[in-house]
Structure 1
Amino acid sequence: MRHRLGGFLTAALLTLTCFGVPASATVDTGQVVRTPSGLLRGSIAERTRLFQGIPFAAPPVGAARWRPPDAADRWTGIRDATKPGARCAQDAGQGTPVSTEEDCLYLNVTTPRTPPRHRPLPVLVWLHSGGFISGSGADQHVERLAAAGRMIIVTPNYRLGVFAYFGHPTLAGSGGFGLQDQQAALRWVRTHIAAFGGDPGNVTLGGSSAGAMTACAHLTSPTAAGLFHRLLMQSGGCSQTWPANGIYPGQPPGATWIPSAEVASAGVSLAVARGCRDPASAVDCLRQVPAKDLLYDEVASALPGPGYGNDVLPVDPAQALRDGRFHRVPVLTGTTRDEGRHFAAVLWPQPITPQRYQETLVESFGDHAPRVLARYSIEAFGSAGLAWATVLGDRVWTCTALSGMRSLARHTRVYAYEFADRAAPPFTEFPADIPSGAYHTSEVAYLIDVEGFRPELSPEQRRLATTMTRQWAGFVAGGTPNGHGLPQWPAFTFPATPEKTLSLDTGPGGVHTVDDLAQRHNCAFWSTIPA
């Protein structure tokens, strides 16, 4: 009987598709939903529904390369939404599959299997990581969080690398096309998410690493006003800066956000290198270059990251935070205890010898290198590699994040955490002298699964994951991670002291409030070392 009924419903849907569905009709059989753009057929799992490969903007190809995203076309019939769309053009440098596809502006929607009966569900738009050059929304397997947290999660693609952050003196929007894509996805959510049972008036924007950085940028973007109502940032933010060698060997000193003049200058260099020498036609000339040729172009690979000084980011987001010029929404943000171990272990040639460590300190801090060496001695950490990893974690990640938290807390409610489980499953083999610890983005695995990395958590870690899921869900639903039976999470306040941060760890008392984050990571010391 069940099979006959299912066949009857399928036939009925096909009949409606062929002869037209009345505009007033509601089509939601669980597997098929009606959206403002057309009907979608997704897939149903034990605890979730998943709709993949949904176009949220027109393909940015041909003459549309390096232009703001246009609205996607509607479709007729039932669109198959059981497979993800193409990932945006990227090479395999971050361990992700190669893609030369520019038709990539697709997103995925994951919902609890049981639709809401009385009121719509809160929505989380999760921006993938990947250093602005790799990754895709489909790499983020968010079923656990969507089901347990009773929320709808949207995972969009967005343009990467040269296709996202190219600039030129003649090109409007220089350096901001990837951010424009993300805002187009947020506008799609505003008009489409109700079809899936979501509340367009209750949207949290979040991400980790590069996803957190871009999420923070939208906090300061005038064109993002009203598109989200809370912000969730993990291991990233607006205020990150670094000295020379701050993330990988040979990296010049800098910051996440690049002035538009610098972005445009780099674009001129690319145009000249590709033979597009006439400034008036350089951008159109570059639009004729195949994606694969740009992807593997040495000059293109050296282009700076996201730029400000355009419509999306008129000013440096870090400065906007310091000035208090950002959207007043609640924020949940944090870092891991050992942020720098990922970078020292994965991006640096091994082993990091004592000589190389001391030479790097001189390259990075000049005349201040002896002070840094005294504070982060090889003897204190047991190896040069671990000492350098701790320098990176404290200087580049935690103390800059703390600076951003303080700027935010002057004007809005902030909940801050430090993920401290040093037994977190490593995503790759770490050198013996740099144990993985609570490495960069290690907390992500306690909330969602990432493509290629689904570790087995211990019973204690699963309990921590359950606590974190409830806290994150509470924040997404109502702006606070506090709830019945959960550890009390006080707001982070500044300039009032002490600054309360929630330490997330396993074991008895593993989740507890701390007020020594700045001391633990020597932030007062780092404030005396010039950038």
Structure 2
Amino acid sequence: MCIQFREASVNLSKIVEMIMEIPEVSEDCLYLNVYTPAKPAEDAKLPVMVWIHGGGFAMGAASFYDGSVLAAYQNVVVVTIQYRLGMLGFFSTGDGNAPGNWGLLDQVAALQWVQENIESFGGDPSSVTIFGESAGGVSVSLQYLSPLSSGLFHRGIAESGTAAMSFLVSADPMATALMLANVSNCAGTKPHEVVDCVMQMSTEDVIKIAESVTLMFMVTVDGHFLPKPVGDLLKSHEFNKSPLINGVNNDEGGFLLAQYLAPAGWEDGIDFETIQQVPGFLIINMITSDINDVILEEYMGNGEDREKNRDGYTELLGDLMFNIPAIKVSNAHRDSGAPIYMYEFQHPPSILASKRPSFTKVDHGDEIAFVFGGCFLKAHVRINGSLTEEEDELCRTVMAYWGNFARTGSPNGPGLTQWPMYGAGEEYLGIGLKQQVGSHLKANRFSFHTQTLPRKIQEKQQRPLVHTKLGALRGEYLRVRGKTTVVHSYLGVPFAKPPVGPLRLAPPQPAEGWEGVRDATKQPYMCLQDRQLTVTFAEKLDMTIEVPDVSEDCLYLNIYTPAKPAEGAKLPVMVWMHGGAFVMGSASFYDGSVLAAYQNVVVVLVQYRLGMLGFFSTGDENAPGNWGLLDQVSALQWVQENIKSFGGDPSSVTIFGESAGGVSVSLQILSPLSTGLFHRAIAESGTAAMDLLTGIPPMASAMIVANVSNCVGSKPHQIVDCVMHMTTEDILNVIKNTRWIYGPTTDGHFLPKNVKDIFASRQFNKVPLINGINNDECGWLLPAFNAPSGWTEGMDRDTVKTFATSFFPNAEDWVIDLVMNEYLGSGEDTVKNRDGFTELYADLIFNIPAIRLSNAHRDSGAPVYMYELQHPPSILVAHRPSFVRVDHGDDIVYVFGGPFMKTHIKMNGTFTEEEDELAKTVMSYWGNFARTGSPNGPGLTHWPMYGAGEEYLGIGLKQQVASHLRANRFSFHTQTLPKKIQEKQQEQHRGEL
């Protein structure tokens, strides 16, 4: 055999159940095996069939095949040829030093030998058919394209391999040559030096290289054998117009290739994430990940079914490597006017059924058993087992088709099902135990690969461009699951100058313009924070997400807009304020593409300064504070001035946010600086009525910063000067040591009065509002950060009381006991104590403030809709205790359409179909509200406005209207407890008198 990794051939023979002798390897290998019927009539001129073996141009030999049965049954001369393989057959430097294609030139030499000598074997040199399988089929197809082969053959059969298999043609031969030089320790790297190195190698050196799986030597466009790229030759019809049979098997990637290219255990099913990584996709690794995702969705759907993933993977392998290229070649030959017949092989050899998985149909190479009459082989190559009588007949049928074609250029003959020529109707023959004519082989997949996918790649290459008042932005195309709508994303869009140097602890300044086109495809840096907190949160939520680095230069927006809105379209705009307790979070933690696609809205994600840099205050003019809230105002001003460029309507802006983002939304409603900048608002699990917002007085927190930072001086201006001179590292150190001491302040500018006074006087923006909570706000995520260890198993009364005291810092002990009695009862049941603890935690931080906010808006005459989310995402249930219901932040999964995300955020797990519907429902409510100020719309449960009856919507797998949310607890906190405190104070006052 020509030099190759001999052990690979030994292993292959076992897989395909063939008994054969595997010869040794040698450079001296250019030989033919000739099979001819004995005693042909004198002057007989029999058709000649020249077989070119497969093996990926790296393995194979004439000895693997026995032409005797085909010669005997079809009265033809069969020639099986060898040609140089691997490095010795296809090494190239891409220039005159080593043009390459040596193995293909060997094939030409063999065909020349046939022309000059085959008559001696009873063969007709004017009736030569070349046929081959896999790399042999590719060889047949390439010989059609080469001027060197002109006149050397007259018909061809390409089985499961064509020249259109572009991954077998090297785009950069010298790159492989340099890799060879590196692994072989060649002295030089210039083309002639590498060639000289190869020329000096021993046979052992060459065999060692043949054993390497990292070096692939391929066909090259050498200007001699192959004058132009394959695609150009096919397009211009510059090829031999001889009759051709071209075909594939119906499961080309079903087993043999998957054994080499699929991950371990693939037969039982494959995880979607694994499929994205397996080497089989090296064929398309030049395509960007989002285009790759389009391909995977076409074949695997949502990726949730592991067996469907497996079957999609093997089909994709077959399509990419064999099926689509085969149809392309058939089309090119048909369109050139050349006779072409196409087939799909549909019956696998029964002897292989027990050797491979039951789902495998006709695998790569299966047809060879029938083409060479494997049923009747008795010489050096034999099938290890018996075929059925029906398969014996199939052997005869296939050989008859192939033999007829070798004689006449048509496969048809007496007793055979008529095989129509491949024409405008794309007719082909399904070859099995019964033959049947079909048409448009793999039409949907072919359309995907030749129309849909190229269009998407072109979209990717022609990334969206938008012109704003500040300059041009180049974004990206995104797609979401379940929607054909394309979304444009523009990431890291500056809305203010970097708040650095003198702009630290100062109101944001408008962004400056830029020259040229700004790249808007990368996530912006996060504002300064403890990055590890975000990483930990992502882990607790079981999300896969890239967490950006942190920087003071962080005032950026991410914008998602439906592609190609109607000219002059004015889409509703939804501006998201992220949560994170004002100390963590970023725009990159969210993905607005699904909401934009499903609701036809423009989604804007805002970043704002956090922690010390966002909320440091001395409580006076030295540092009024609220810098992060002023950043939000600046972002809203940017939206007013620029969102038209993205198809958005500046007169229809809805702000929405969760947790600290919900608080931000609520505060923007209270601030005169935001008047006219938005028109509707949604506060999720966070409001300005949260008492803890006014916890530590500004100057007290400033002193803590001064102490931690060893600032010289304790006067307000001295501390401010100290902060202004801190390095980034200093600030990060302060952040880690003073995490929870920052928040909004009553600065007289953004917030002219304290929150309670503004609510009482109803001096706030009367825009429509959605306000709501989840039914277990402190069920797990928040207690996981500050509850005592082991809290999930139960808590004693004193532990809960100690925790509660932090919420009532000036209260006497009897007040705390009243609260304990309300939530824990006797306090003897530790599990009930735990549940009372999480409920109290949620009521104090989220639930009671939310109801207060709804009441204030209702009483002011502003439209308000209230909700309680009642279904947790099932993918999170396995990652937290079983007693947890809808935890803090769970709503975000539905609001942003988590089940349909396909971009930089991946929810690890599978949503149920009901949860898919819930996500669509929530997005519809939110989208309708952004459009009209009412969440209601067709197909949705009617959501009543929050009025005297305190109606709210319970949002779950089924929606239901209820009233008086948490009425008893609200009454306790707003009536019972204040009344008892007042009575106690009056009693003490009387005692003093």
* TMscore range, shorter length: 0.7 to 0.9
Equivalent residue, structure 1, for 2:43: none
| 1:308 counterpart = 2:746 | yes
Equivalent residue, structure 2, for 1:488: 942
**1:170: Cα distance to partner?**
6.0
Which amino acid is the alignment partner of residue 274 of structure 1? N
Q: Aligned to 1:523, which of 960, 963, 970?
A: 970
Shifted more, 166-175 versus 423-432: the winner is 423-432
Describe the shift of the 1:385–1:9 C-alpha distance in structure 2 as closer, same or farther (beyond 3 A): closer
| CA-to-aligned-CA distance 1:137-188 (integer Å, 9 cap, x gap) | 1211121111101100100111000000111366455221000101110001
1:63/1:284 contact within 8 Å kept? no
Equivalent residue, structure 2, for 1:114: 564
Q: Distance in 1 between matches of 2:689 and 2:645?
A: 37
| CA-to-aligned-CA distance 1:17-44 (integer Å, 9 cap, x gap) | xxxxxxxxxxxx8700110001100000
SS at match of 1:206: strand
Write out aligned runs for 1:393-412 (5 A): 393-411=842-860, 412=862
| 1:74 counterpart = 2:513 | yes
Q: Distance in 2 between matches of 1:453 and 1:318?
A: 39
Describe the shift of the 1:188–1:486 C-alpha distance in structure 2 as closer, same or farther (beyond 3 A): same
1:351/1:385 contact within 8 Å kept? no
| 1:42 counterpart = 2:475 | yes
Question: If the length of structure 1 is used for normalisation, what is the TM-score?
Answer: 0.85
Equivalent residue, structure 1, for 2:888: 440
Equivalent residue, structure 1, for 2:533: 94
| 1:333 counterpart = 2:782 | no
Equivalent residue, structure 2, for 1:25: none
Question: If the length of structure 2 is used for normalisation, what is the TM-score?
Answer: 0.47
SS at match of 1:168: coil
Q: Distance in 1 between matches of 2:817 and 2:460?
A: 73
Shifted more, 308-317 versus 93-102: the winner is 93-102
Equivalent residue, structure 2, for 1:470: 924
| 1:159 counterpart = 2:609 | yes
Q: Aligned to 2:711, which of 253, 263, 275?
A: 275
Describe the shift of the 1:271–1:466 C-alpha distance in structure 2 as closer, same or farther (beyond 3 A): same
1:109/1:152 contact within 8 Å kept? yes
Shifted more, 90-99 versus 44-53: the winner is 90-99
| 1:296 counterpart = 2:736 | no
Q: Distance in 2 between matches of 1:4 and 1:76?
A: 32
Shifted more, 280-289 versus 154-163: the winner is 280-289
Which amino acid is the alignment partner of residue 121 of structure 1? L
Shifted more, 396-405 versus 271-280: the winner is 271-280
Shifted more, 105-114 versus 313-322: the winner is 313-322
**Unaligned regions of 5+ residues in structure 2, if any?**
1-449, 480-485, 536-546, 806-812, 899-903, 982-993
Q: Distance in 2 between matches of 1:131 and 1:9?
A: 39
Shifted more, 265-274 versus 76-85: the winner is 265-274
1:294/1:300 contact within 8 Å kept? no
1:43/1:49 contact within 8 Å kept? yes
**1:376: Cα distance to partner?**
2.9
Q: Percent identity?
A: 28
Higher helix share: 2
Which amino acid is the alignment partner of residue 801 of structure 2? L
Write out aligned runs for 1:123-202 (5 A): 123-168=573-618, 171-172=621-622, 174-202=624-652
2:654/2:679 contact within 8 Å kept? yes
Compare relative contact order (CA 8 Å, sep 6+) and give the higher one, 1 or 2.
Answer: 1
Q: Distance in 1 between matches of 2:658 and 2:880?
A: 21
Describe the shift of the 1:382–1:315 C-alpha distance in structure 2 as closer, same or farther (beyond 3 A): same
**1:362: Cα distance to partner?**
5.6
Which amino acid is the alignment partner of residue 60 of structure 1? P
Equivalent residue, structure 2, for 1:26: none
**1:469: Cα distance to partner?**
1.1
| CA-to-aligned-CA distance 1:298-354 (integer Å, 9 cap, x gap) | 664353312112411122234312321101100011001111213234431332376
Q: Aligned to 1:384, which of 800, 825, 833?
A: 833
Q: Distance in 2 between matches of 1:417 and 1:188?
A: 31
Which amino acid is the alignment partner of residue 331 of structure 1? L
1:395/1:523 contact within 8 Å kept? no
1:45/1:113 contact within 8 Å kept? no
**Unaligned regions of 5+ residues in structure 1, if any?**
12-28, 242-254
Which amino acid is the alignment partner of residue 617 of structure 2? G
Describe the shift of the 1:324–1:427 C-alpha distance in structure 2 as closer, same or farther (beyond 3 A): farther
1:418/1:503 contact within 8 Å kept? yes
Describe the shift of the 1:54–1:427 C-alpha distance in structure 2 as closer, same or farther (beyond 3 A): farther
Describe the shift of the 1:145–1:228 C-alpha distance in structure 2 as closer, same or farther (beyond 3 A): same
Q: Distance in 1 between matches of 2:887 and 2:456?
A: 48
1:344/1:388 contact within 8 Å kept? no
SS at match of 1:387: helix
**1:384: Cα distance to partner?**
2.9
Q: Distance in 2 between matches of 1:85 and 1:394?
A: 35
Q: Distance in 1 between matches of 2:820 and 2:711?
A: 47
Equivalent residue, structure 2, for 1:284: 721
Which amino acid is the alignment partner of residue 79 of structure 1? R
Which amino acid is the alignment partner of residue 470 of structure 2? S
| CA-to-aligned-CA distance 1:80-123 (integer Å, 9 cap, x gap) | 00112111001035334584410111111001123234531000
**1:294: Cα distance to partner?**
1.8
SS at match of 1:95: helix
Q: Aligned to 1:361, which of 797, 801, 804?
A: 801
Count of aligned pairs between the two proteins: 490
| 1:256 counterpart = 2:693 | yes
Which amino acid is the alignment partner of residue 361 of structure 1? K
Describe the shift of the 1:452–1:294 C-alpha distance in structure 2 as closer, same or farther (beyond 3 A): farther
